[in-house]
A and B are shown apart, each in its own frame.
Chain A
């Protein structure tokens, strides 16, 4: 096998995303669009978490905006954001050469393997909220975690078969690395030579400021608590009606609502555990029902 070679660097943040999309489309992935709900991670898109369940094969890739209210920093931290992008790839079953496919995707976005030190460092991924875990690695590029690479073993508390390979690229981090930028807001969002060159800051800085203020100062905790309870009962009712997909949507809504409550530091550790358990029950319940239906549909 010839030594791998890097391609020229992408021109911009969006160029990097487009390269990844084109590359994974070539690998037979359906390029999905972001899920239209607030989620904390790309994994939670039903295109990953629910499709990992059941007997049907599946390949998809997509960008997913992720919201983590607690990580918001009023736009003042060069590395941390309350709203950012993940690029998510799922291949079910995982092909035997998934590691090579992944590494090639890094070469495609300009990471030269002769110059950069790429490592697979043990990291057992777990998301108790959706009852999921898997084994895999954090992928490090010169000491920076650029992706999470996981072979799902369980989702919704159920063993998965076939096994999916899941890749999550932290897009901003990866881009900062590729472009040698120390501050996320300095990333070129589009081509710097274009008619209207835009940086990441031009697009998102003010959003980070205002959303941070909302997360930490202006959210109405009492109202959020009511919303949480409403989402919970809606999700339960939908599950009772045998509709796991919308039930899962309302589990996601409850989850994000909890994250907002949590960001205000308004709950004690014990209460916090109780909220997490409630979200987990919703998400797991919906996932388990979906898996059951998928099995039944495949059998019929």
Chain B
């Protein structure tokens, strides 16, 4: 058994790329060994600012001999085919092949190929250069006069198998058994024989903590100690911790002081400078819980003065940055927020969609319209929308774009705007990612929805949709944001209604579309938007549009709306799937053409609960049986239109048929009220009453009766069963 040590040593690897490269290298080497028939006991990896390392244990010294058969052509095949077979199998004469007999195909040749095992060292010497040449980095480069690509110049390769160097060369760089330690504390070189020796020397004299976990622990513990001594509380930040873990080979935690005079700046300004620009951790005063005038920096050396100069130097840099921050803060506070908002008309939002000022106008109008539906004051929603982008022209946001919204809130508060307006300015960007919270205040909700919906409708209008992995305007995030806000606040909004309303506002920017715009639909939509509160208007609209289908203009407009709606549907699916809902149920409910996300979700939940009961599962099975019979009939030839049940004929039939008819009639009228009241649990408990009659029907009744009239009547009955269930969901899309 042999152990393999591989280290790829380079100039500083960007922190954000190290963990993935470590995993990729481990996988590539493991795959290459396994692929060559070399099984191993374990493979461990490590990565840091200057190196990726892999340790493979329990490798055989050589792979096993393998013999395999290669099938050849039939006996008596043309000469060319035989020659090709001989060449491919490495034979010199056809006598070296065996002849096999196949009862169907007759006699054919088989070559027996013996592949001798290969030395592990040879496999490694071939695999590692190939891995290095084919390695994927998010961005890679060339250097000097070489042709190789790596993330930064490659400086060395250690490759040791069982204590001996595995010799190979990559672009002029030869593998060896020497590596370097920390630049200042223990550069080396160190000659290594295997992983144990390698990690012992590097972690000892070399002052390199090899694994990410080890560095992370040292940093976390260092911070805890420093904080405990100074009465401070670490503002934990996992992302920053991961980043600094990739920035130091020998991390040492240093506490620095910040001039307390800066504490009158908004804390977001201070923490942004600390974390984003300087990669410092912020700390709170343990007693007050507020930001303390200190910071924590993770250095890459154990300084001979205990870190005094490091602390002082970093403090000076922070001061310079905060000095800039104060300059912008003072300058911005001297400018009226309304004046900033007025400047938005000079900044392009998207060329085809007008300026940011134009966008704000549309958002303000939509926020006002949405306000009643989300329980917000319409005046406040409109005011907040008018101010929500103003800080984009402020000095502070110009310098620190990450502070958009946050600064606007401060400037609004300073100008005496109501708190809900100020909060909406900050929170309308939310949620900014899957882990970010959604706004909860109604005014914030109105503006957040209006802003995102405006963007989505606009980008669809100019046909700039996300494709594949490309989504430069984060439209998926915006749509998912809408889904989350609506569902988490349980607000009832007709997305199609919004699309109609917004389309009108976009007309002036999409003049080419003007002629494609169906004025009739627009006016109908306006009526519907006003009348609508939980009442599906979509079906009415659909019918209306279908009636006009002959007109290409309507079709093109409709396809744009339905495309955006299905974009929302995909986001909703993703969201509900993450919540553990079955995707087939979501499809089943979506198929109804509903555009109210809250309603869709409630249906999905009720349906899921119902299908988990025995009644539900059995009814689904009954439905499938009915649907299969109908589908088979439809295949033969369309079922007659207006197929309706003849009650008189039923009375003459068996009791199971009569019972199903009676139950169906009762259930159909019983679900009308709960459907209208959106009481889906109530609907489901009514549907449950169909279970036994459906079951009994299939047990005791033959649909395919000899009498054509009876047969048609039973098909009609099943059609009604299907239609009744389709009022809740398209059961045909449910699995199981």
Question: Which residues does A use to contact B, with CB under 8 Å?
Answer: 1, 3-4, 77-79, 93-96, 99, 103, 113-122, 124, 134-137, 141-144, 151, 153, 161-163, 165, 177, 182, 268-270
Contacts and interface: CB of A to CB of B under 8 A. Distances in A.
B143 A142 contact: no
B16 A122 contact: yes
B16 A115 contact: no
Contacts of A94: 143-144, 153
Interface in B344-367: 346-348
A26 B216 CA distance: 41
A153 B141 contact: yes
A137 B139 CA distance: 13
A135 B138 CA distance: 12
B535 interface: no
Contacts of B11: 99, 120
Given A3-B187, A142-B317, A116 B310 contact: yes
Contact of B188 (A1, A95, A268): A1
Nearest to B141: A135
A122 B145 CA distance: 23
A1 B144 contact: no
A103 B346 CA distance: 47
B300 A4 contact: no
Contact of A143 (B140, B143, B297, B305): B297
18 contacts: A4-B184, A96-B153, A96-B155, A103-B183, A113-B183, A115-B310, A117-B313, A119-B247, A135-B140, A137-B12, A143-B278, A143-B297, A143-B313, A151-B141, A161-B145, A165-B143, A177-B313, A268-B346
A116 B145 contact: no
Interface of B: 11-12, 14-16, 49, 139-145, 151-153, 155, 183-185, 187-189, 247-248, 278-280, 297, 299-301, 303-305, 309-310, 312-314, 316-318, 320, 323, 327, 346-348
A151 B143 contact: yes
B300 A117 contact: yes
Contacts of A117: 297, 299-301, 303, 310, 313
Contact of A122 (B14, B144, B327): B14
Nearest to A116: B309
Contact of B313 (A113, A142, A163): A142
Contacts of A161: 142, 145
Contact of A144 (B16, B151, B317, B346): B317
Nearest to A100: B183
Contacts of B189: 1
A147 B310 CA distance: 17
A143 B142 contact: no
A98 B313 CA distance: 26
Contacts of A114: 184, 301, 303-304
Nearest to B256: A143
A143 B314 contact: yes
Contacts of B278: 143
Nearest to B321: A79
| 7 closest A-B pairs by CB | A142-B313, A122-B14, A143-B314, A120-B12, A117-B299, A135-B141, A93-B144
B356 to A, nearest CB: 10
B144 A162 contact: yes
